[in-house]
């Protein structure tokens, strides 16, 4: 066995895993604050990528304008989704709001095909193209920088979550909504801020994923792996999303290389079946189960 090759593939897996973790974080934020299982997370990621595409390729804006612009639009989009689709579902059963996000996902695919066509698109290159060599292992530069972008953003989000007043308000809302309301936390605003933050985080992931694999109206499939990540880690666990992201990334990379590219998703979903049988609430999740 070629150990350097194994190392190289594992590194690539960790790189992709960072993006899974980032998107998983966006998912967990929404679930924690609003108890909505957002199946449309992959499609929200896609919207971020396409908006960035419009800014960077369509309007030919420089990167330092196109990225914040895309994130602002993504956040605004998250706010609109929360206000128009999620808030009216307040107090309905979890399955109803889950179905709303299923509908949202297919609406977004339709929207992308209408606005940007169903053809594949390529994002302009903006990450350094020089190959990274660690020992004898090569790492694709896009995956390398994508991973560090994910790590940076995850750290920032975690710090805010822990220390910022708004982050504490979010945790308090997740723990007890009535109590949060009565100590003066504006709960509806926490909901909408959470959706905005999650949409922006997913947008960053979308830009990186798009620059690695190109854009298409089916890139929301990325969200399927993310779903496995959060079920694996526990729907309401930030740590679970991070650990789960890396593990799923590595397993996919190994399966893709040693068994064959077409078995990637098979490996992911085998893992899902396994975890549902052993720990249905995930590695770190709260031991209460929402049936969907």
Partner 1 sequence: MPASASQTLLKVDGLSLAFGGVKALNGVSFSVEPGSITSVIGPNGAGKTSVFNTLSGFYRPAAGTMIFDGHDLAGLSPPKRAALGLARSFQNIALFRGMTVLDNIKLGRHCHLKTGALQALFYTPAARREEEQLRREIEERIIDFLEIDHIRKAPVAALSYGLQKRVELARALAMRPRLLLLDEPVAGMNREETEDMARFILEVRREWGVTVLMVEHDMGMVMDLSDHVVVLNFGQVIADGRPAEVQGNPEVVKAYLGSGNVEALRERFQRAAAAGAQARRAA
Nearer Cβ to partner 1, position 110 or 188? 188
Give the residue among 22, 30, 285 at the shortest CA–CA distance from 173: 30
Does residue 198 contact residue 243 with C-beta atoms inside 8 Å?
A: no
Going by C-alpha positions, the residue among 192, 198, 286, 208 that lies closest to residue 17 is 208
Which one of residues 165, 277, 278, 292 is an interface residue with partner 1 (CB under 8 A)? 165
Which residue in the set 84, 182, 288, 292 belongs to the binding site for partner 1 (CB under 8 A)?
182
Please select the residue that binds partner 1; options are 169, 227, 229, 271, rule is CB under 8 A: 169
Asked if 124 and 56 touch (Cβ cutoff 8 Å), the reply is: yes
Which of 92/176 has CB closer to partner 1? 176
Interface with partner 1, residue 218, by CB under 8 A: no
- How many chain residues interact with partner 1 (CB under 8 A)? 23
- Is residue 166 a contact point for partner 1 (CB under 8 A)? yes
Give the range of 92-100, 164-172, 252-260, 266-274 binding partner 1 by CB under 8 A: 164-172
Of 50, 43, 45, whose CA–CA distance to 204 is shortest? 45
x/- site string to partner 1, residues 139 to 158, per CB under 8 A? -----------------x--
> By CB under 8 A, is residue 276 in contact with partner 1?
no
Binding segment toward partner 1, per CB under 8 A, in 21-29, 141-149, 180-188, 242-250: 180-188
Compute the C-alpha angle 276/279/281, nearest 5°: 85
Q: Does 185 bind partner 1 (CB under 8 A)?
A: yes
Please say whether the beta carbons of 46 and 115 come within 8 A: no
Does position 235 interact with partner 1 (CB under 8 A)? The reply is: no
What counts of helices (H) and strands (E) characterise the chain?
11, 2
Nearer to partner 1, 1 or 178 (CB): 178
Interacting residue with partner 1 among 160, 212, 224, 283 (CB under 8 A): 160
If one asks whether residue 186 binds partner 1 (CB under 8 A), the answer comes out as yes
171 vs 90, 177, 239, 286, CA distance in Å? 19, 10, 14, 14
Stretch that binds partner 1, among 97-105, 117-125, 159-167, 239-247 (CB under 8 A): 159-167
> Is 172 an interacting residue with respect to partner 1 (CB under 8 A)?
yes
- Give me the helix-helix angle, 41-53 and 63-81, nearest 10°: 140
Of the candidate residues 159, 221, 273, 289, the single one contacting partner 1 (CB under 8 A): 159
Dihedral angle at the C-alpha atoms of 166, 168, 173, 175, nearest 10 degrees? Answer: 170
Report d(CA 99, CA 209) in Å as an integer. Answer: 26
Q: Which of 1, 60, 129, 183 binds partner 1 (CB under 8 A)?
A: 183
Q: Does 69 bind partner 1 (CB under 8 A)?
A: no
Min dist. Cβ of residue 69 to partner 1 (A): 20
Nearest of 230, 27, 261, 17 to residue 144 by alpha carbon: 17
DSSP structure class, residue 138? E
Residues that bind partner 1 (CB under 8 A): 156, 159-160, 163-169, 171-172, 175-176, 178-186
């Amino acid at each position: 066995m070629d150990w350097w090759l194994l190392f190289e593939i594992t590194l690539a897996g960790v790189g992709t895993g960072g993006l899974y973790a980032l998107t998983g974080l966006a998912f967990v934020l929404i679930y924690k604050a609003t108890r909505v299982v957002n199946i449309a997370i992959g499609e929200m990621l896609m919207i971020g990528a396409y908006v960035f595409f419009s800014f960077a390729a369509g309007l030919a804006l420089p990167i330092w304008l196109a990225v914040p612009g895309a994130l602002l639009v993504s956040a605004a989009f998250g706010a609109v989704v929360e206000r128009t689709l999620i808030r009216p579902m307040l107090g309905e059963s979890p399955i109803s709001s889950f179905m709303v996000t299923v509908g949202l996902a297919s609406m977004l695919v339709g929207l992308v095909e209408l606005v940007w066509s169903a053809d594949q698109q390529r994002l302009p290159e903006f990450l350094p193209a020089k190959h990274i060599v660690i020992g004898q292992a090569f790492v694709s530069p896009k995956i390398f920088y994508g991973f560090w972008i994910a790590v940076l953003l995850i750290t920032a989000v975690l710090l805010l979550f822990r220390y910022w007043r708004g982050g504490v308000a979010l945790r308090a809302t997740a723990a007890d909504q009535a109590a949060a309301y009565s100590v003066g936390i504006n709960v509806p605003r926490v909901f909408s801020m959470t959706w905005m933050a999650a949409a922006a985080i997913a947008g960053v992931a979308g830009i990186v994923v798009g620059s690695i694999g190109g854009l298409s109206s089916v890139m929301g499939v990325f969200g399927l792996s993310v779903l496995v990540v959060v079920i694996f880690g526990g729907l309401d666990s930030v740590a679970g999303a991070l650990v789960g992201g890396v593990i799923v990334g590595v397993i996919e990379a190994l399966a893709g290389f040693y068994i064959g590219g077409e078995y990637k998703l098979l490996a992911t979903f085998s893992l899902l079946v396994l975890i549902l049988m052993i720990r249905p609430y995930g590695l770190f999740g709260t031991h209460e189960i929402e049936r969907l």
